[in-house]
């Protein structure tokens, strides 16, 4: 249940005519070399949904790479962000997955530019996340945090199987900086109830409001069909036998792609599996591509445009997402919005996204259970179709960006009521 100051009575566009509009800095912390980020995408879309209600300025370390305008409403303003690794160090000696931890930006100086509140999105790189939070405390500017990626931060040691040295590095360079930022926040906007225990374990004792991700609902009957260009580019058979499945994510260790490939390697039924996202050198795709029967096809597309994603969703029977740790994945809602049922791992906020009428949940890290669920669903095409209809209806009722914006604005106003515009002074949390 929400605390009393976060009661569910979000303001309308007509509330308090003439009242000054809140000035919000949306600080999007993400490795600048990434070409796509679910957390950055969600931050951009929530910021746009908030633009009719308050003055939002987006400062993103991706500098616009994550922009996906939706609807016809106003866009938030933007400021350019400079991000770089600290100078005079031999960063080329380190793989990206390590040097990424040390990126810095000029977002902290934006805190002093007259904003009423700062909204921190995405916790990696964690040292920069904590640095921006520290700048807010030093300035006396209240900040709130959305819990993008917090499940991964909290469970990283389990997911990645680190040895002792890497476990200590994760604790010092990831978990502890995020926890410091959390403890100094004016409020936490949890993406799902599953994140509440995580932020409490980090030492946060303040107000928590659940502000889910949202998604735009494609118009009924407006699905994008696969055109001949997409078919030719990816070799997707338009009349393939069996169940047609899709996976879409960064191919990082926490997304469970090896488990996905292992599960499909166990199937006896015909299938087509389309795997979206950029390839990683650490995954042996080719052996799986060669292993199937002629009526069992795996297609790895690489990065997809929004139009290509919509087209592949339009011809998919099932979205399969065997992630090992996820907070509240936007891609699950996107699949549901296209009327595609979801088979996913029972982790993080995913059980709050889907129910038994629009998908199935399996234990994480269990290819055998995943394969059994796919076989079961493949045998019931009518059930899959009904699940897809319910998935779309559930998104329309529960997970829209306007609903998320109303809850976020209610949270902002509660924070400002508590702080009353009076400088907080330097916090004791460092």
Q: What is the pLDDT of residues 182-236, one digit of tens each?
A: 999 999 999 999 999 999 999 999 999 999 999 988 876 544 555 556 666 788 8
pLDDT of residue 240: 79
For the entire predicted model, the pTM comes to 0.86
DSSP state string for 273-286: EEEEB---TTS-HH
Residues in the chain, pLDDT under 70: 1-19, 64-72, 220-232, 421-430
- Token pair belonging to 375: 């076989």
pLDDT tens track for 348-394: 999 999 999 999 999 999 999 999 999 999 999 999 999 999 999 99
- Token pair belonging to 333: 């809602």
Residue 92: CA count within 13 A, CB half-sphere:
1
Dihedral pair phi/psi, residue 199, rounded to 5°: -70, -30
d(CA 367, CA 320): 12
d(CA 98, CA 166): 10
Q: Helix-strand-coil percent breakdown of the chain, rounded to 5?
A: 40, 15, 45
pLDDT of residue 236: 80
pLDDT of residue 422: 39
pLDDT of residue 166: 87
Question: Are β-strands 83-84 and 23-28 bridged in parallel, bridged antiparallel, or unpaired?
Answer: unpaired
- Token pair belonging to 175: 């978990």
Domains, the chain? 4-214+400-419 (3.40.50.2000), 228-398 (3.40.50.2000)
pLDDT of residue 298: 94
Looking up tokens 């790189």 gives 125
d(CA 290, CA 383): 31
**Quick one: angle between helices 306-314 and 330-337, nearest 10?**
50
pLDDT of residue 365: 95
């Amino acid at each position: 249940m929400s605390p009393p100051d976060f009661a569910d009575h979000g303001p309308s566009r007509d509330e308090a005519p003439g009242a000054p509009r809140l000035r919000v800095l949306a600080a999007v912390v993400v490795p600048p070399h990434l070409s796509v980020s679910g957390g950055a995408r969600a931050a951009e879309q929530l910021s746009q949904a908030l633009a009719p209600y308050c003055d939002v300025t987006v400062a993103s370390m991706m500098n616009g790479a994550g922009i996906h305008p939706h609807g016809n409403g106003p866009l938030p303003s933007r400021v350019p962000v400079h991000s770089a690794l600290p100078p005079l160090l031999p960063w080329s000696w380190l793989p990206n997955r390590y040097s990424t931890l040390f990126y810095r930006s000029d977002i902290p100086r934006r805190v002093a530019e007259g904003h009423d509140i700062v909204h921190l999105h995405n916790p990696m790189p964690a040292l920069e996340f904590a640095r921006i939070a520290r700048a807010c405390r030093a300035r006396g500017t209240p900040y709130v945090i959305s819990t993008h990626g917090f499940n991964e931060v909290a469970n990283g040691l389990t997911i990645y199987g680190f040895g002792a040295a890497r476990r200590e590095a994760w604790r010092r360079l990831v978990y502890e900086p995020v926890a410091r930022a959390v403890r100094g926040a004016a409020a936490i906007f949890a993406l799902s109830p599953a994140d509440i225990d995580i932020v409490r374990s980090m030492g946060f004792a303040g107000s928590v409001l659940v502000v889910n991700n949202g998604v735009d609902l494609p118009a009924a009957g407006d699905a994008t069909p696969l055109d001949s260009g997409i078919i030719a580019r990816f070799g997707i058979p338009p009349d393939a036998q069996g169940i047609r499945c899709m996976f879409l994510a960064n191919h990082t260790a926490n997304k469970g792609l090896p488990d996905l490939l292992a599960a499909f390697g166990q199937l006896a039924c015909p299938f087509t599996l389309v795997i979206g996202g950029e390839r990683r050198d650490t995954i042996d795709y080719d052996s799986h591509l060669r292993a199937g029967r002629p009526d069992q096809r795996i297609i790895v597309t690489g990065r997809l445009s929004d139009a290509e994603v919509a087209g592949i969703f339009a011809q998919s029977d099932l979205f399969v997402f065997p992630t090992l740790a996820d907070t509240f994945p936007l891609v699950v809602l996107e699949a549901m919005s296209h009327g595609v049922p979801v088979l996913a791992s029972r982790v993080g906020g995913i059980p709050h996204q889907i129910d038994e009428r629009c998908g199935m949940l399996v234990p994480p890290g269990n290819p055998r259970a995943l394969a059994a669920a796919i076989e079961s669903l493949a045998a019931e095409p009518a059930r899959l179709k009904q699940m897809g209809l319910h998935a779309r209806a559930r998104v329309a009722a529960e997970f829209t960006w306007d609903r998320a914006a109303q809850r976020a604005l209610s949270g902002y106003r509660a924070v400002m009521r508590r702080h009353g515009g009076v400088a907080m002074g330097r916090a004791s949390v460092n």
